[in-house]
Amino acid sequence: MEQHAQKSTAHFWIWSGALWLGMSSMFFLTRAILHDDWLRALGFTCMVDGLAFLVIIALKFAYERMQCRNGFSLRTAGSLVGLSCLGSVLLSSVAFGFVRLTGWWIPGWTPLEEILLRFLLYWLTFLAASFLYFWLLADSDARRGQQEADEARAEATRTELLLLRAQLDPHFLFNSLNGIATLVPTDPAKASVLIHQLSRYLRYSLDRRHQDSARISEEIAAMETYLEIEKTRFGDNLVISVLCEPPSPSRRVPCFLLQPLVENAVKHGFATATPPLQVSLRVRETPRDLRIVVTNSGRLVGRARGLGLDVLRRRLQLHYPGRHRFRIRENQGQVVCTLIVRGEP
């Protein structure tokens, strides 16, 4: 807030100085040409217009106090017009007194016309400086409000991502523990292997619990571990295939971006496919985007909803707004899930 106020004040002095410098230059040239005395015109300008800049300073301090108490209102606008008028009367009086002493009347003008002209010029200048102050103040407030809103949205996004990930990880853990519980009575050795595989996968999850993104190569390795877990559970009833071109080391994606796609293929594939279930993961990187395709044998049932996919859709909106395509369709006895993302998350 203080930084915005300092910028607003600096801009006010820059613009006010430029405004008054331009007006003073015009007044100086007019006096010098009318009276053909450049030195006296310079002295007149320095005295009168220097006093005018002091009036601007006084107006600024007056507006600061008014704004702190009431903000900008009709009463403030009336005070702005009135104080500008008062400053113009003061400056016009000083200028008129100097002209009477020196005899520097404008040729062909009556004293009343000259007084009114000076008053109008000074009043318009003070009004311009006054409105400039309040415009810069309003602009500063708007920028500060926008910055605070952006920071609030960013914090809300970070919090929402943490909540979404908290929903996703227990969902996967619940399914895996159910599988282990099923194997323990019938095949303790296989259950032991599954526990070690699950431990390795959860280690990956814990190591990235405070990270929003990971390298795509790490995500692929984690999915291979996940599929090994499922292969241990289901044996010959599951055929898996992972085909991924070596990705760029710098390519990053949100943590656990692939997991709901693969989990959904296994879960719903077993519900609709004739054994053995075939699941494949394909990842291909291009200079423009990253293409992820997960397929499983079986049929597409319903609208392809569920906790994992709902969370994935929301994460895509947060990480890749307007930069992703996500589609699930059935094609010749297979369910094909295609995800394309562009840029960094």
Residue 44 within a domain: yes
**Quick check: helix, strand or coil at residue 328?**
strand
Regarding whether 146 and 6 lie in a shared domain, the answer is: yes
Q: Is there a domain that residue 226 lies in? A: yes
Mark whether 207 and 252 lie in a shared domain.
yes
> What pLDDT does 1 receive?
44
Tell whether 196 and 95 lie within a shared domain.
Answer: no
Same domain membership, residue 244 and residue 300: yes
Q: What is the CATH number of the domain that holds 257?
A: 3.30.565.10
Residue-level pLDDT, tens digit, the chain, 345 residues: 444 445 556 666 666 667 667 767 776 777 677 666 677 777 777 777 777 777 777 777 777 776 544 556 677 677 777 788 887 788 778 777 777 776 666 666 777 777 787 788 778 877 777 777 777 777 777 777 788 877 777 676 666 666 656 655 566 677 778 878 888 888 888 888 888 888 888 888 777 767 778 899 999 998 998 898 888 878 899 999 999 887 777 889 988 889 889 988 988 898 888 889 999 999 998 888 999 999 999 988 765 556 668 778 888 888 898 999 999 999 888 999 999 999 888
- Split into its structural domains, the chain has a count of 2
Helix (H, G, I), strand (E, B) or coil at 247: coil
Beta bridge partners of 283: 244, 292
Question: Does the residue 334 lie in any domain?
Answer: yes
Is 172 a member of any domain? no
Contact call for residues 79 and 88 (beta carbons, < 8 A): no
Q: Which domain, by its residues, includes 194?
A: 187-342
For residue 307, the model assigns a pLDDT of: 65
Same domain? 135 vs 223: no
Q: Is residue 171 part of a domain?
A: no
Residue 123: its H or E element:
helix 111-186
Q: What is the pLDDT of residue 303?
A: 59
Same domain, 308 and 204: yes
One domain for residues 133 and 8: yes
Task: Return the pLDDT at 140.
Answer: 75
* 96 part of a folded domain: yes
Q: Are residues 144 and 238 in the same domain?
A: no
According to the model, what pLDDT value does residue 34 have? 67
Report yes or no on whether pTM surpasses 0.75: no
In angstroms, rounded to a whole number, what is the distance separating the alpha carbons of residues 277 and 322? 34
Q: Which letter, b or e, does each residue of 84-95 get, where b requires 16 or more Cβ atoms within 10 Å of its Cβ? A: beebbeebbeeb
